[in-house]
Amino acid sequence: MRPLASLLAGVILLGAVPAARAAESAADFPSRPIRVIVPFTSGSGSDSSARYYGEALGKLLGQSVVVENRPGANGVIGIQALKNAPADGYTILLASNSPMSVNPIVMKNLPYDPLNDLKPVAGLSRNMNVFITAPDSPLKSMADVVAAARQGNGLPVATYSAGYQLAAAWFANLAGVRFVNVPYKGQAQIMTDIMGKQLQLALVDTGGALTLIRQGKLRALAVSGEQRHHDMPDVPTVRELGYPDYKQYSWVSFYVRAGTPDDITDKLAGAMQRILKTPESLAFMQAKGSDLMPYPPREMRAFQQAEIDRFRRVAAAAGIHAE
């Protein structure tokens, strides 16, 4: 019996070593730089949020935070980069509604499960979408957009993720017209091409477009929120133009890979809650024309599930199927 008892004691001891190391890593976390992956190009509202919150997180935790843009495939490339990283909290994904709530509805054979492969850390913010065109475009209103879309085989509309594509298709369905999606990797190039008159119309994030709209370099035709945007009081909502069911917000949040120890996730989540409650975070979001969305992990997970359910209803109403 003694050999067996010794063997069992050794197994127990060996099992305790990883647990002790995990506890030590959580206590010392972070002991090296943290990476934040953004699945969109620089210049987007998501990118600016990642850089602001990454810097704030680094200052609070005493480590540098590096932002890495991994655009492409509607966010899939960025999420794959997270999945390929160790589940240790040193790689964070800034995710948006497109890869986390829309891709499961519009993409077949998705190489990740947004609910089971990633763990929420914190909700960050939400933003209305805005239909934009060039200041001297003949499209001066959404009525002009609808009229133009009724001519020919549809009106090209630029978007840069599945969420915007779905939102644009939803409006087209409500208006009884057809849009032709023109996919981009990021918002910055869309706005450049709109100003250069290579495109007539786009649906983008208000946060990334607000400065150019204020400067008169872009024209805002309509916003997607429940009420008018406080920084664009003269721009109507889509709802008030005769489409009362239309409401759309883009949102961003932080995630880590599933399997990341709970105590490390909790440490990151606690730090983000402290950051989100500061006057500086509120001022940053107000300057972007965004609303804070300071959801802790459990609340963020419930919100994400509700968004998947909502987008599924939107896709069904717009006749959009997974491709």
pLDDT digits (tens, 9 = 90+) for 107-152: 889 999 999 999 999 999 998 999 999 999 999 999 999 999 999 7
Q: What is the 3-state secondary structure (H, E, C) of 159-213?
A: ECCHHHHHHHHHHHHHHCCCEEEEECCCHHHHHHHHHCCCCCCEEEEHHHHHHHH
Residue 57's SS3 state is helix
pLDDT band at 208 (very low <50, low <70, confident <90, very high): confident
Q: Where in the chain is the domain with CATH 3.40.190.10?
A: 128-241
Whether the ω angle into residue 3 lies within 30 degrees of 0, i.e. cis, is no
Is a pLDDT exceeding 60 seen at residue 6?
no
Is a pLDDT exceeding 80 seen at residue 25?
no
- In angstroms, the CA 195 to CA 215 distance is 12
* CATH number assigned to the domain covering 128-241: 3.40.190.10
pLDDT digits (tens, 9 = 90+) for 76-107: 999 999 999 999 999 999 999 989 999 999 88
- DSSP class of 99: I
Residue 91's SS3 state is strand
The answer to whether 131 and 221 are in contact (CB under 8 A) is yes
R_g of the chain, CA atoms, integer Å: 22
Q: Is the dihedral of CA 70, 72, 78, 81 positive or negative?
A: negative
Cα distances (Å, whole numbers) of residue 186 to 68, 161, 189, 213, 311? 14, 8, 6, 18, 21
pLDDT of residue 41: 81
- Burial classification of residue 275, based on how many CB atoms lie within 10 Å of its CB (0-12 exposed, 13-18 middle, 19 or more buried): buried
- In angstroms, the CA 298 to CA 295 distance is 8
- In angstroms, the CA 61 to CA 290 distance is 25
Q: Where in the chain is the domain with CATH 3.40.190.150?
A: 34-127+250-318
Residues in the chain: 323
Residue 256's SS3 state is strand
Is a pLDDT exceeding 60 seen at residue 302?
yes
Q: Is the dihedral of CA 65, 21, 267, 289 positive or negative?
A: positive
- In angstroms, the CA 24 to CA 272 distance is 21
pLDDT of residue 265: 97
Give me the mean pLDDT over the 260-288 stretch.
94
CATH topology of domain 34-127+250-318: D-Maltodextrin-Binding Protein; domain 2 (3.40.190)
Is a pLDDT exceeding 90 seen at residue 154?
no
Give me the mean pLDDT over the 54-82 stretch.
94
SS3 content of the chain, % helix, strand, coil (to 5): 50, 20, 35
pLDDT digits (tens, 9 = 90+) for 155-171: 999 998 888 989 999 99
- In angstroms, the CA 122 to CA 93 distance is 11
For the chain, what percent of residues have pLDDT higher than 90? 70
Is a pLDDT exceeding 60 seen at residue 75?
yes
Give me the mean pLDDT over the 194-205 stretch.
95
